[in-house]
Structure 1
Amino acid sequence: MTEKKESVLAGFKAFLMRGNVVDLAVAVVIGAAFTNIVNSLVKGIISPLVGAIGTKDLNKYQSCLKAPCRTNEAGDVVTGVPILWGSVLSATLTFVITAAVVYFLMVLPMAKYLARQEARRKAREGVQETMVITELEVLKEIRDLMAAQRGGEQSGGRTGAPV
C-alpha cells in the first residue's frame, strides 16, 4: 500500500515539475497582475471616451426587457427585467484591450525574437555545412592527387599533377 502512495506522490511531483505547469503558474500570476493595469486603462480612459455619448460608467447602460424597470434608492431592481448590456460591453472592451496589449507587447515581440534566433541558428548551420563541404572537397582532391601520384610512380614516373 505504501508503494502505491509513493508512486502517486512521485507522479504528482513529476507533474508539478514539468515545464509547462510551472510556465502556466507564472502566466496566471503575471496575468492577474496585468489585469489590474488593463482594468485601470478601461476604467480611466476607454470608458470615459465611450461614455462621452452618455454616462461615464458603462455598467449603467441597460435596457428593460419587461417594462417598467424601477429601482429603489439602493439601486436594486424593484419591478421589470433589466438587461445590463453596459457591463457586457465593458467586459468585452476589457478583453479586447487585454488581448491587444498581450499580443502587441508580448506575443509579437517574442515571435520576432524567436524568428531572429532561428535565422541566426540556420545561418550558423549553413556556414558550418559550407565549411564541412569545402573540407570534404579539399580532402577528396588530396586523395585524388595522392592516388594519381602513386599511380604515376608505379608506372615509372610522375604524372605532373601539382602537389
Structure 2
Amino acid sequence: MIKGFRDFIMRGNVIDLAVAVVIGAAFTAVVNAIVTGIFNPLIATLFNAESLAESMIVELPGGAKMSFGLVLAAIITFLLIAAVVYFVFVLPLNKMKEAQERRRAAGVPAAAEAVPATELDLLAEIRDLLASSASEAASEGPKHTL
C-alpha cells in the first residue's frame, strides 16, 4: 500500500500539478492586484461609491438587505480577471504559437526540431537513393554504343 502511494506521488504528472498550483497561486495574486488596484477604483468612481459592493443596497422589511452592488461587483471582477488573463497571457501566447507555426510552414526549423540525423536515418536515406537510382537505370533499358 505504501509502495503504491509512493509510486503515485513520484509520477511526473503529480509533480507537474503541484508546480501548477503554486504558480497559479502566485498568478492569482498578480491578477487580483491588477483588478483591485486599478480597475475596481475606476468602476467605483463611475458609480460614485467608495466601493461598488457597498452601493445598490435595498433594505427589505425585517432588516434584511439585498446587495445588488455586491453581485454586480463580483460579475465585473470576474469579467475583468478573465480579460486580464486573456489579453496579458493567452493572446500573446497564441500569437507566439501562430508565429511558430508560420515559421514551420515556411520551412524554418525551430530549435527543438533541428535534431541531427542518426546513423540509422542516414543509412535508410542511402538505401532509398540507391534503390531509386537502380530503378531509374532499369527503366531506361540497356544502352547501346557504337
Q: Which consecutive residues of structure 1, in runs of 5 or more, have no partner in the other structure?
A: 68-78, 126-135
Which is strand-richer, 1 or 2? 1
Residue 5 of structure 1 deviates from its aligned partner by 2.3
Output the CA distance in 2 between the equivalents of 1:23 and 1:32. 14
CA contact (8 A) 1:61 1:84 kept: yes
The one of 28, 33, 52 aligned to 1:35? 28
1:54 aligns with 2:48: yes
| Identity percentage of aligned residues | 35
CA contact (8 A) 1:58 1:87 kept: yes
Q: Which has the larger radius of gyration?
A: 1
Q: TM-score, normalised by structure 1?
A: 0.57
When the two chains are superposed, the root-mean-square deviation of aligned CA atoms in Å is 3.4
CA contact (8 A) 1:38 1:98 kept: yes
The secondary structure found in structure 2 opposite 1:124 is coil
Question: What residue in structure 2 maps to residue 6 of structure 1?
Answer: 3
The secondary structure found in structure 2 opposite 1:83 is strand
Q: TM-score, normalised by structure 2?
A: 0.61
One-letter amino acid of the counterpart of residue 76, structure 2: L
Give CA deviations for 1:26-59 in whole Å, capped at 9, x if unaligned: 4433343343444344444433333333212112
1:144 aligns with 2:141: no
The secondary structure found in structure 1 opposite 2:60 is strand
**Count of aligned residue pairs for this structure pair:** 126
Output the CA distance in 2 between the equivalents of 1:62 and 1:54. 11
Residue 100 of structure 1 deviates from its aligned partner by 0.9
One-letter amino acid of the counterpart of residue 61, structure 1: S
The one of 92, 108, 115 aligned to 2:91? 108
Question: What residue in structure 2 maps to residue 158 of structure 1?
Answer: 145
1:87 aligns with 2:70: yes
Q: Which consecutive residues of structure 2, in runs of 5 or more, have no partner in the other structure?
A: 109-127
Output the CA distance in 2 between the equivalents of 1:116 and 1:65. 56
